[in-house]
Every structure is written in C-alpha cells, then in structure tokens.
Structure 1
Amino acid sequence: MSDADRAAASGQRGPWAAVRPYLEKESLAAFFVGVSSGFPYAMIGATLTTRLAQEGIDKKTVTAFTLAFLVYNLKVFWAWIVDGVRIPVLGRLGQRVSWLLVAGAAVIAAVVNLALVDPSASIQATVVAALLVGIAGATYDIVIDAYRIETLKPYQLGVGSGMSQYGWRIGSAAAGALALVVAARLGWSAAYVACAAFALPAMLTGLIVGEPARHVVAGEKRGLAAVRKAIVGPFAEFMRRSGAWLVLAFILVHKIGDTLANLTFRLLFNDLGYTNDEIAVYDVAFGFWAFLVGIFFGGILYTKLGLKRSVLLALVLMCVSNLSFAVLAAAGHSNWGLAAAIGFENFASGYGGVVVVAYFSALCNLQFTAAQYALISAAASVLGRVLTGTTAGGVIQAMGYVDFYLLTTLLALPGILLFWFMMRRGMIDSALGTAGFRN
C-alpha cells in the first residue's frame, strides 16, 4: 500500500466511513472466495484428525496425515499453469474465472471421494483420498489468492485481507461444525458429502463479479524453454529485490511454532476426554467468534499502527497463544480452560491473519500473482507441517503435552527477532511488489 493510500484509508471519519470499505464489491468478493478457500483445509485437518481418532487410529499415524498439507506447500511448482495456461471454452470467461470453475469442481469431486473411503478398512486408500483433496484444494487456493489480490486495490489490501480471513474462518468453521453434527447422526460419509457444497461460493463469485481489473494477461506457455522461464521467472524477480533473502527466511520460520501447535490441538482435546459436542461448542463455535473479534481488531490496528508494527504485534500474540495450551494440558479437562485457550489463540490468529496476509499480498508482482503468492503461502507453513507430520506424535508421546506446547512457544521466537531486524534495516518496504502500490 502506498503512503497516499494509507493516508486516504486512515483519514476516513464517521461510522459509515468505517463500515463502507467492508461493503465494497472487491471486499465482498474477497469474503466469498475466502469461504471456499477455508473448507478443504478443514476436511483434511481437524475434521479428518477427529474422524481418525474416533476410528482408533494411533497418534503417529494420525499426525502423519498432516503431511497431506505438504501438497499446499508444493503448489508453487504448478502455480505457473494457473497464470499462463488458458482453459479451452471456459477461457472466454477470463483466466481467473475459468480456473475458479475448474478447480472448484475438482475440489467437490475430491471431497466426495474422501467421503467414500473407510479409514478402518484401508488406511492407504484414506491417504490417497486425503492427498487428492490436498491437491485440488491447493490448486483452488492458487486461483483464489490470485483472484483476491488482483481484485483488491492497494488501499483495500488490509480490509480485503480481513474479509478474506472472515470468509476462510467461516468456511472452515462451518464445514467443521457441519461435519461433526452430521457425522454424529448420519456417519462420516454423509458429513463429507454435505461439506462439498462449500466449494460453490468462490465459483459463483467469479461468475458474478467477473475477471479482476488488475489482472495482467500473460502469454500461454509453449515449449520446454518457455515453461522453464514461466516457472523460474516469478521467483527470480522476487529474489532480485533488496532484502529478499531475509524476507524469504522470515516467511519460512515465522509460523513454525504456531503450525506445530495448531495441527495437534484435536489430539489434546481427544486425550483430555472432550466430546464431539464440547469440541463443536468451544473449539468451533466459541473459537469462531474469537477469531472474528481478532479480525476486527486487526483491521483497526493495521490502520492505526501501520503494516510493520501491526505485523510485529501479531507475531508476539501468536507466540504467547501457545502457552495457553500448555496451561490447559497441565490443568486437564476444563470447559472454562478450553474456552480461554481457544479464545486467545483464535483472537491472535484472526488478528495476525489480517496483517500478515496483507503484508504477503503486498509482496506480489501483479505479473506473477499466482506463482509468487503460492511461493509465499507455501513457504509460510512448510517447516511446521513437515515437523508436525514427521515428529509431533512421537514428541508428544516422549515429552507430554505441556512440554510440547512450551517448545512450540520457543520455536516462534526466531520469527519475531528476524522481523524486528528487517524493520530496523528498512527491508520491509524495499521488498514490496507492485501489488502493494499499483492500482
């Protein structure tokens, strides 16, 4: 966001001026595509963890399923296709809209396929089905992120990121809650089939709102040399910026502790004896509202503090939030304790989601939106997901939950220190891309 845009945003006065940015067409579009972006994550995340735990699958196998999320980290290798390959027939609707329709249909098919497998009968078939959901969901994410960034104007990145986070959380929480409720009554297969409908909002948004105004048309990629250039070009452009290596290092390490903690919460809840209804009320419902409050304060503090200080505060809050689960693990089964831990963690995540996503969006060059945001979003969680899938279950069994969550708190400190260093050296501003200042 340029200085002029920041001034315009911060200079607004009155209640209607505060609400109006959230009701603009671009912000509403960011919300609805966010709904569809969030639900595949829930299908192979907390929901699948609960399903496997209730099937009696051991902890090491359950946590190994988080490796399905690594597909999201590999999406960078095919993001160039979304930028440059035109879909026959549907392509006349526009590059982004046509890909929204194709990727959305793929997600629906993959979720229905996961609904049809039986983990207790074949864990291998469940792994394959989860990976297919991951691949389809990651592709959908590529398109949705590019559509959101190119639809939003620079001054809308903060509000638009907040609306996207609202949508993501609603899609994830609603799908997760619906799955728990339906599974308790009709079984897990019916639950997953019902949740497949959450792919539709982004598809309909693309058809109604149309192709993004800021989309930079790229030529179709033909021949091996052109494909190689299409893959390498976005990353080469990013790495030529001043301070790019440190920015990339920050992206890699800033969320290790948070990711490691978040992907193991349902194991803690299961071992503490919480029922599905208790998880639905406190983790899903109460956490949902705490997340929305965090997003609200994220939008306010992003305007008041600016990008750099608001991101630094987010990193500190996300670090401290892990401590609350160490306290819960030590206290044992307590609904009040669960509400407090979930409330603080979701507030921190909601606030951080607004300011960190706005920062990552501003790092993109509009010529390579899909590929560069895929790189950034994939790098942001890859280390945490690898550690969770390969070691988390064993570490929890060896150390216990209390020491495990204390460890995740310590792992969040390098990201805080690195971002503070980049602030002091002026590297935050020097590494921004055209999405941060070009209308």
Structure 2
Amino acid sequence: MNSTVSTGWRSRLPAAIRPYTESAPIAALFLGISSGAPYALIASTLTTRLAQDGINKRAVTAFTLAFLVYNLKWLWAWVVDGVRLPLLGRLGQRVSWLLLIGVLTMAAIVNLALVDPKASLMATAVAAILVGAAGATYDIVIDAYRIESLEPRQLGVGSGMSQYGWRIGSVAAGALALVIAARLGWQAAYIACAIFALPAMAVGLVLGEPARHRDPIIRRGISAVTDSVLAPLLEFFRRRGAALVLLFILLHKIGDTLANLTFRLLFEDLHYTNDEIAIYDVGFGFWAYLIGIFIGGAMYSRLGMKRSVLISLVLMMLSNLSFAGLAATGHSNWAMAGAIGFENIASGIGGVTVVAYFSALCDLRYTASQYALISAAASIVGRVLTGTTAGGLIERVGYVNFYLLTTLIAVPGIVLFWIMIRGGFVDEVEATANGKAATEKPRTD
C-alpha cells in the first residue's frame, strides 16, 4: 500500500481511530472471524441444538469435552511451525497452512451438519470433536499469522480487532444457524456456516506471509523433530517466573469458562425462545462485546499492560454475579439484557488486554507452538470442570448458587496476577516485546 496516500487519508481520522485502519489490525479482524465460527458451532449453537432435540443436561454439558481438543492443540502446534507443506509450501509457511486447514475446517463443519443427534449421540460427538480438531488447528495458524503480522505497538489494537472478528464470526455463525434452523433445519444451518472459514484464507492470499515471521534454527534427522517439539517449551520454561505465569494462565479463566458454557442451559430453563436468545444473547451481546473491546483497547493504550489486565480480571469475575441475578429474577428480557450486557463488556475488555499480554509472551521463532500452549492452558481447567461436573452441580445447587461459586473461583487468578506484578514478571514481558521491536525494520502500511 502507498504509505503517502494512506498517511493522507488517515490523518483526517480521529487519533483514536487511526490505528484500527492499518493493514495488520484489519487482517486480524478477518482472521478472528474465521477463528470464532467453528468454536461457536460446537459451543452454544450445538448446546441449543441438543437441548431442542431433547438431550438431557448431563449429556449436553458432556459435549463441552469436545473443546478439550482446543486445549490439546499445543501437542501438534509444532507441526505448523516446523513442517513445510509440499506444493502449497511455496506460498509461505503461514499462508500454506491457512489454506489447507481452512478447507479441512469447512469439511468438518459440513460433516457435523449431516449427523443426527437423536439417531446417534456417539456419531454427533465424533463429528463435534472433528470440528474442534480442525478449528483448533486453524486457531494455531491464525494466531501465529496475527502475532507475526502485528508490531508490538499494535498489540492492543490488533488484539481488539481480532476479538472484534472473533465475536463477529461466532455471533454471525450462531445467529445464522438459529435463523436457518428455525426455517430449514439444523443440517442446512451448519452447511451454510461453513463459509465462515473463508475470510482467513482470503487474508493469506491477499497479504502473503507475515512480515515478522522468523524461521526456527533448522536441524536435520531425528533432532529436527525433537527440536520442533521441545524447543518452544524449553524456551518458555527457562524464563524467570515461568511456573508462576503458567499457573496464572491455568487458573485465571476457570470461573468465566464455567459460567459461559452454561448460559444456554439457563436460557432454556427460563423458557426463552430462539428469537429472544437471538435478540438478547446474540444481538445485544454482540454490540456490548464490541463496546467492551473498544474500551479494552483504550485501557491497554492508556493504562499499560499491568493495570489494564488486572482491571479486566476483576470485571470478568464480577460479571458472573449478573447471571446469578438473572437466575433469581426468572424470565425477564430486561434482566437478560443487563446480564448479557455486563458480561460481554467485561469479556470484551478482557479479550483485548489478556490476549495482548499472552501475545507478548511469545518468542517469534515459536509463535504457533507457544501461543497454542498458552491459549490452550488458559481454559483447560474450566472446560474439564464444565464437561464433568457443571450439569450435575447445577441440578444439585441450582443456578444462583452455581454462578456465585463461579465468581469465587475467579479470585485466585486475580491474586496471582497481582503477585506477578509485584514480582516484576509483567514488566519483563513488556520490556522484552519492546526490545524485540527495536531490532526489527519498521513497516509502513
């Protein structure tokens, strides 16, 4: 893009908006769209489909174990970093993998469309796991492409745009599925949603390889495989405070994950219709999330990494209380709007600040592997607990006490991050990311 022209038209925009118009953050938006759709199709959308097919709560919440594939993606992320694809590889390491996994993701979604949960829960579970595997691998490539495309100064804005895209993809896929399912059935709904894999593929074809991509040191023979698997992990765990950072990653999102993966069960038990869910959970929640993302980007720019992440963790914890209030109130569109609004604003803020922090943790030689490890670890405990205990726990203690419990469970993550701030670990991450930026050639858009 001609830098003189782009500087000219950007100069007429408000200063707060200008960074969002650069090519790397815009690419992050489209990458996020393709990342969010597969997740939504095995999350709330599949929960609604199963509930409407008369599947019991324990079986429905057990399907959240399909998300464990996302938590295991670090096991094969090294392949995306270290294996060059034949033929497609000539397009570049990241672009070739975007195209391959994009096609496989579309195929997995169509496969899930063709199964009937009432005929075979096992076949449905396998199909959901395949979507999870394809979506998780797509995330590996998408996250690596995003991080390597963004300069450190763009991490807050780029993370925000990625979250915008993720929300657009997940909401659009979920809303489209609900609308089509009500008219043509779930099979047609899922087939239509396969198109959401295309935006990330388009980004790779249009923009090419990321400017900041760094190939790891090449080794031959068995040492090549060993190094591809172990080097990203060893580099991470050799850092000062690595164990504490990993503990924070594991614990900080347990309460949020437990709550989020049970919202649709609450809505069904409160007798909300598909249209009400589409309007308030999908529609109103979408705009609230976008507002939260914008606030998160501004917070990250003005307050810095430490304070913005800490504030977002507190807000995400408090947002679970709003659903305890909704459960106590009963069927009320105003109460649903308030709970959804607060939760999505808090999640939008946290999505920007925490993702920016996690992105800064990655060594550019091992972006795919390390971010896969970090993002997988961030929700694995919550997903395991949701899939194994959430349904039964709700039946025993009720929704109000369940959401109060998820609020308390979020406290350890906040305490850990405060300890990390006091120990200087967050400052070191920020300084390292900025130090790497100083050695790189600036890019003009």
Q: Does 1:112 align with 2:115?
A: no
**Match among 367, 373, 385 for residue 369 of structure 1:** 367
- Residue 397 (structure 2) aligns with: 399
**Match among 233, 236, 260 for residue 235 of structure 1:** 233
**Match among 52, 55, 58 for residue 57 of structure 1:** 55
The question of whether the paired residues in 1 share the 8 Å contact of 2:11 and 2:18 is answered with: no
5+ unaligned residues in a row in structure 1: which ranges?
1-11
CA drift at 1:15: 5.1
Question: How many Å separate the matches in 2 of 1:303 and 1:186?
Answer: 46
The question of whether the paired residues in 1 share the 8 Å contact of 2:25 and 2:161 is answered with: yes
Q: Does 1:254 align with 2:235?
A: no
What secondary structure does 2:73 align onto? helix
The question of whether the paired residues in 2 share the 8 Å contact of 1:75 and 1:374 is answered with: yes
The question of whether the paired residues in 1 share the 8 Å contact of 2:148 and 2:213 is answered with: yes
**Match among 90, 94, 112 for residue 96 of structure 1:** 94
Question: How many Å separate the matches in 1 of 2:169 and 2:185?
Answer: 21
Question: How many Å separate the matches in 1 of 2:232 and 2:341?
Answer: 39
The question of whether the paired residues in 2 share the 8 Å contact of 1:364 and 1:433 is answered with: no
The question of whether the paired residues in 2 share the 8 Å contact of 1:324 and 1:341 is answered with: yes
Amino acid at match of 2:376: A
- Residue 80 (structure 2) aligns with: 82
The question of whether the paired residues in 2 share the 8 Å contact of 1:250 and 1:419 is answered with: yes
**Match among 375, 388, 391 for residue 390 of structure 1:** 388
For residues 98-138 of structure 1, give each alpha carbon's deviation from its aligned partner in whole angstroms, at most 9, with x where no partner exists: 00000100100000000000000000000000000000000
CA drift at 1:424: 1.0
**Match among 273, 291, 294 for residue 292 of structure 2:** 294
Q: Does 1:32 align with 2:30?
A: yes
What secondary structure does 2:17 align onto? helix
The question of whether the paired residues in 2 share the 8 Å contact of 1:243 and 1:431 is answered with: no
Q: How do 1:178-327 and structure 2 match up within 5 A?
A: 178-218=176-216, 223-327=221-325
Amino acid at match of 1:398: R
Task: Compute the RMSD of aligned alpha carbons.
Answer: 1.5
Q: Matched residues, percent identical?
A: 71
For residues 324-354 of structure 1, give each alpha carbon's deviation from its aligned partner in whole angstroms, at most 9, with x where no partner exists: 0001001100000000000000000001100
Amino acid at match of 2:197: A
CA drift at 1:244: 1.1
Question: How many Å separate the matches in 2 of 1:282 and 1:161?
Answer: 25
CA drift at 1:31: 0.5
For residues 289-321 of structure 1, give each alpha carbon's deviation from its aligned partner in whole angstroms, at most 9, with x where no partner exists: 000000011111111111100000000000000
The question of whether the paired residues in 2 share the 8 Å contact of 1:55 and 1:120 is answered with: yes
Moved more, 116-125 or 225-234: 225-234
For residues 115-169 of structure 1, give each alpha carbon's deviation from its aligned partner in whole angstroms, at most 9, with x where no partner exists: 0000000000000000000000000000000000000011000100000000000
How many residues matched? Answer: 428
- Residue 149 (structure 1) aligns with: 147
**Match among 104, 110, 124 for residue 122 of structure 2:** 124
Amino acid at match of 1:425: G
Amino acid at match of 1:352: G
The question of whether the paired residues in 2 share the 8 Å contact of 1:328 and 1:341 is answered with: yes
- Residue 358 (structure 2) aligns with: 360
The question of whether the paired residues in 2 share the 8 Å contact of 1:241 and 1:430 is answered with: no
Q: Does 1:426 align with 2:430?
A: no
What secondary structure does 1:400 align onto? helix
CA drift at 1:428: 1.1
The question of whether the paired residues in 1 share the 8 Å contact of 2:360 and 2:429 is answered with: no
The question of whether the paired residues in 2 share the 8 Å contact of 1:295 and 1:351 is answered with: yes
- Residue 3 (structure 1) aligns with: none
